[in-house]
A and B are shown apart, each in its own frame.
Chain A
Amino acid sequence: MGLECRDVGLVYPARTGEIRALDRISFRVAEHEFVCLVGPSGCGKTTLLKIVAGLLSPSSGEIRYRIPGVDGAPRCAMAFQEHGVFPWMTVLENVAFGLEMRGVPRAERRSRALSFIEQVGLAPFTDNYPHELSVGMRQRVSIARAFATDPEVLLMDEPFGSIDAMTKMILQQELLRIWFAHRKMVLYVTHDIEEAVLLADRVLVMTGRPGRILEEIPVPLPRPRDPRDRDAAESIRIKEHVWSLLEKEVAGGLVRNA
């Protein structure tokens, strides 16, 4: 049950021959599970996420979904890095966009969107345009939109990557709360180990290019979680383990890119 990524590989042509971006990637995400993908920059995390979303086709392998009550491809909502919210739509229109595309009637999408706008604390900004908001607030719009669309699968691409540390903690808290209330299947890309261990039920560690899954690390910390619990002994142990795996990859990448 859930999402299965089986032997996914991606090769694309370049001036100097073929570039292998992803190499035989296999993993599963169960229903209601929160899985984080971590890896050094340039390892193809975002590319993998786009393949899962169906925005890119893999060169080999396949993505399979088995979700009860859903025939064919399920609804994937993606929360993009920066700039994912439309500058020409108000907060309300942005959050309701997924529902609008699904043909949900206006009144219903308005009330659903408003509920999620309130959940991310943007109620006073419902009719504002994104340029009137801070980067952190825009990211909340992106997350509210993803949740409001009521997807079977939520894909998040470093949604807090460009946000300052303090705002990030608040947003992580909000994300944990909203996720705990709705329990969607989430695949979350980040290069922040702290964040991965805080959010995930399982962390998938990727290698540098070509990206492969190096190890799957379960995170058996109790829920609901809070960013303030990050110094718990178990949490630290897991983070150290993830870092021990990634250290070589990141250092190797530095040498390769030098």
Chain B
Amino acid sequence: MTRRQSGSGSSFAGWRLASKGLFVLALLAWETSVRAGVVPALFFPAPSTILATLVRSLASGEMAEHLAATLGRVLAGFLLGSVPGFALGLFMGWSPALRRVLDPFVAAAHPIPKISIFPLLLILFGVGAFPKILIVAIGVFFPILINTMTGVQQINPIYFEVARNYGADWRKTLLRVVIPGSIPFVLAGARIALNVGLTLAIAVELVSAEKGLGAVIWLSWQTFRTEYLYAGIVLASILGIGFRNLVRLLSARLAPWQTETHH
């Protein structure tokens, strides 16, 4: 049960250092090959140029505004999609009958590229903020549902017997066994879902928004200001790291019985 590892002769700090070293090395290689003219700066601007653009555009508030627009869509969509995904996942994981009835629909709907129904959502809900949030919500719904369902299914049946033996009704069983027992899987699902949500928000912004990282990326591509395109991509990566840290923070709060989060 303990997830503390101290094996293979190297400490955590050592691995972290190696990871950072590799990153710096890759950046240096990129920078020098641009400066040497080996790769065209138009398509692959130097890291220093990208960084300068990023800092300047964030400081001016221009990029910050785009970042906020995307993040707002992701978080709103996440809330809208994860709540029903979590609730349905709990009951589908708990009840084999419900799972048998609904799982084929989930399986069939999951692989549909969410962006492909975006035009439909535009017709249904107009061109406002809602369809963009809704598409994120639909994308978030599936990983949360599937992970929650799996999380409930992998709970050792003995815990349900213990709960029954001590007289737990269904609500107590839900609160004291089903939810805490599945939380680690739900959190792993949340990390996947946040990234799916970000991908979808950017995809939607590519085609139909004036604000957002997707809009920056598309506009800068059309105007050949590729350093902005890369700055947008870097921000997406930074958001990904932020999501990971957010989920870790949540894990420590919501699942303190797990010494190390293992996802």
Query: With an 8 A cutoff between CB atoms, is B121 at the interface?
Result: no
Query: With an 8 A cutoff between CB atoms, is A131 at the interface?
Result: yes
Residues of B within 8 A of A129 (CB): 256-257
**Assuming the A-B contacts A87-B257, A88-B183, are A131 and B2 also in contact, with contact meaning beta carbons closer than 8 angstroms in the complex?**
yes
Interface of B is mostly: helix
For A97, give its contact among B176, B180, B256 (CB under 8 Å): B176
Report the bound CA distance from A219 to B157 in whole Å. 36
Contact status A131-B180, CB under 8 Å:
no
For A77, give its contact among B158, B165, B183, B259 (CB under 8 Å): B165
Contact status B161-A55, CB under 8 Å:
yes
Query: With an 8 A cutoff between CB atoms, is A83 at the interface?
Result: yes
CB nearest to B158 among chain A residues: A83
Query: With an 8 A cutoff between CB atoms, is B162 at the interface?
Result: yes
Contact status A75-B257, CB under 8 Å:
no
Contact status A131-B161, CB under 8 Å:
no
Contact status B156-A83, CB under 8 Å:
yes
| A to B contact number (C-beta, < 8 Å) | 57
Shortest distance between the CB of A169 and any CB in chain B (Å): 25
Closest 5 CB pairs of A and B: A131-B1, A88-B180, A129-B257, A98-B166, A101-B167
Residues of B within 8 A of A89 (CB): 176, 180, 257
Q: Name the interface size band of chain B.
A: 20 to 34
Q: Which of A118-139 contact B (CB under 8 A)?
A: 129-132
A-B contacts, 8 listed (Cβ < 8 Å): A83-B158, A84-B158, A86-B176, A88-B180, A88-B255, A97-B162, A101-B167, A129-B256
Shortest distance between the CB of B168 and any CB in chain A (Å): 5
Query: With an 8 A cutoff between CB atoms, is B172 at the interface?
Result: yes
For B167, give its contact among A75, A84, A88 (CB under 8 Å): A75
Contact status B166-A86, CB under 8 Å:
no
Contact status A84-B259, CB under 8 Å:
no
Residues of A within 8 A of B165 (CB): 53, 55, 76-78
Shortest distance between the CB of A215 and any CB in chain B (Å): 29
Shortest distance between the CB of B256 and any CB in chain A (Å): 7
Query: With an 8 A cutoff between CB atoms, is B177 at the interface?
Result: yes
Residues of A within 8 A of B181 (CB): 88
CB nearest to B167 among chain A residues: A101
Query: With an 8 A cutoff between CB atoms, is A102 at the interface?
Result: yes
Mark interface residues in A175-200 (1 if CB within 8 Å of B CB, else 0): 00000000000000000000000000
Query: With an 8 A cutoff between CB atoms, is B263 at the interface?
Result: no
Residues of B within 8 A of A98 (CB): 166-167
Report the bound CA distance from A76 to B156 in whole Å. 21
Contact status A88-B257, CB under 8 Å:
yes
Q: Which of B152-171 contact A (CB under 8 A)?
A: 156, 158-159, 161-168
